[in-house]
């Protein structure tokens, strides 16, 4: 049965979406192409009709997830009285900590990204620049450089807080990390 271009595009989007979730849950090396394709409802054989390699898929999945984060932050900023605090509280939260498959790619795959291929690292660079640009627009400061510095340190604190809160096996310490970061960011 021949697949239309529209159906092929829909299939590709489904694969990218499923891969993005599974990479965030299992890591880049924690799941293979066959399992990714099966989870998306397709056979392994169809993979190379859509992607050059697993790294190509991973880079596309990261780009898509970063774009979704930017969309979510934009919507949150537009609807909140205090956009920065709204972003901080949504990002540094128990809900985010407990849902790595739906959460930020930086907090789930950031440490792995340093050991990945150039396309994946390029996706991370572009994603970071996009989110930092959003934070820079909202950040306090007298100059563009001061606002960017604040945005970069804010992003690092938010990501670091979620990484640490997920890494520890003590629920009280995990909550303490989240509460401390939120308190610092919203002060």
The domain locations on the chain are 5-186
Question: Do 136 and 151 form a contact (C-beta atoms < 8 A)?
Answer: yes
- Give the per-residue pLDDT at 46: 82
Reported residue count of the chain is: 187
Q: Give the span between the Cα atoms of 42 and 14, in whole angstroms.
A: 10
- The pair of three-digit structure tokens given for residue 81, joined into one six-digit string: 């009285």
Cβ burial, residue 8 (10 Å; 0-12/13-18/19+) = middle
| pTM listed for this prediction | 0.89
**Confidence check: pLDDT of 8 > 90:** no
Reported as a single tens digit per residue, the pLDDT across 62-86 is: 999 999 999 999 999 999 999 999 9
Mean pLDDT of all residues in the chain?
95
Average pLDDT for 10-14: 92
Which fold does the domain 5-186 belong to in CATH?
Answer: Tetracycline Repressor; domain 2 (1.10.357)
How far are the Cα atoms of 4, 44, 91, 111 from residue 62, in angstroms, in the given order? 26, 21, 17, 14
pLDDT confidence bin for 47, thresholds 50/70/90:
confident
- The pair of three-digit structure tokens given for residue 167, joined into one six-digit string: 């890494």
- Give the per-residue pLDDT at 170: 98
């Amino acid at each position: 049965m021949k697949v239309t271009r529209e159906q092929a595009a829909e299939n590709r989007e489904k694969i990218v979406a499923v891969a993005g979730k599974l990479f965030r849950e299992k890591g880049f090396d924690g799941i293979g192409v066959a399992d990714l394709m099966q989870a998306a409802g397709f056979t392994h054989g169809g993979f190379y009709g859509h992607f050059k390699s697993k790294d190509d898929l991973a880079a596309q999945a990261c780009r898509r997830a970063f774009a979704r984060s930017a969309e979510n932050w934009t919507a949150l900023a537009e609807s909140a009285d205090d956009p920065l605090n709204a972003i901080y509280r949504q990002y540094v939260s128990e809900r985010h900590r407990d849902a790595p498959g739906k959460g930020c790619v930086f907090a789930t795959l950031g440490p792995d990204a340093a050991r990945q291929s150039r396309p994946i690292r390029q996706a991370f660079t572009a994603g970071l620049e996009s989110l930092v640009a959003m934070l820079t627009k909202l950040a306090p400061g007298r100059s563009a450089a001061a606002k960017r510095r604040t945005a970069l340190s804010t992003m690092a604190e938010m990501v670091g807080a979620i990484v640490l809160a997920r890494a520890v096996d003590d629920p009280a310490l995990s909550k303490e990390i989240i509460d401390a970061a939120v308190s610092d960011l919203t002060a």
